[in-house]
């Protein structure tokens, strides 16, 4: 978790094949899953936010084999940061716009 602005932006480009200037939230977690960093571009510069848990770990959702990333809704990100396990929750069958959902975060 030593990476900062430019290095996280480069990882976003090269590993995730995403544009770090897109405005999406890119969340990076360490191997022990007790620290994470968020990279986001707000139109004028990058923000890097960090969180370290004093006890316990983040219940990171599983990533599909062969993929380097997963996409979370804003509500799912809030649950993750609140310490809740997303595997224990199911989404109710609401109507969703077929296009890319607004307010999503990339992890």
- pLDDT tens, residue by residue, 82-107: 888 877 777 777 777 886 555 555 55
Q: How many CB atoms lie within 10 A of CB 80?
A: 21
Examine residue 82 and state whether it is found in any structural domain, yes or no: yes
Examine residue 22 and state whether it is found in any structural domain, yes or no: yes
pTM: 0.74
Per the structure, how many domains does the chain have? Answer: 1
* Domain span at 36: 5-89+99-106
Examine residue 19 and state whether it is found in any structural domain, yes or no: yes
Examine residue 69 and state whether it is found in any structural domain, yes or no: yes
- pLDDT tens, residue by residue, 23-32: 999 999 999 9
Residue 56: helix, strand or coil by DSSP? coil
Q: Is 12 exposed, middle or buried (0-12, 13-18, 19+ CB in 10 A)?
A: buried
**Contacts of 62 by beta carbon, 8 Å cutoff, 6+ apart:** 87
Burial 27-47 (b: 16+ CB within 10 A, else e): bbbeeeebbbbbbbbeeeeee
Examine residue 94 and state whether it is found in any structural domain, yes or no: no
CA of residue 78 relative to chain centroid, distance: 10
Residue 67: helix, strand or coil by DSSP? coil
């Amino acid at each position: 978790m030593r990476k900062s602005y430019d290095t996280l932006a480069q990882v976003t480009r090269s590993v995730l094949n995403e544009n770090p200037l897109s405005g999406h939230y890119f969340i990076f977690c360490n191997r022990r899953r007790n620290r994470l960093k968020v990279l986001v571009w707000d139109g004028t510069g990058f923000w890097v936010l960090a969180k370290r848990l004093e006890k316990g770990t983040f219940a990171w959702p599983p990533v599909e084999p062969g993929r380097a990333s997963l996409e979370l809704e804003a509500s799912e990100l809030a649950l993750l940061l609140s310490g809740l396990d997303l595997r224990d929750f199911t989404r109710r069958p609401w109507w969703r716009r077929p296009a890319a959902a607004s307010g999503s975060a990339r992890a």
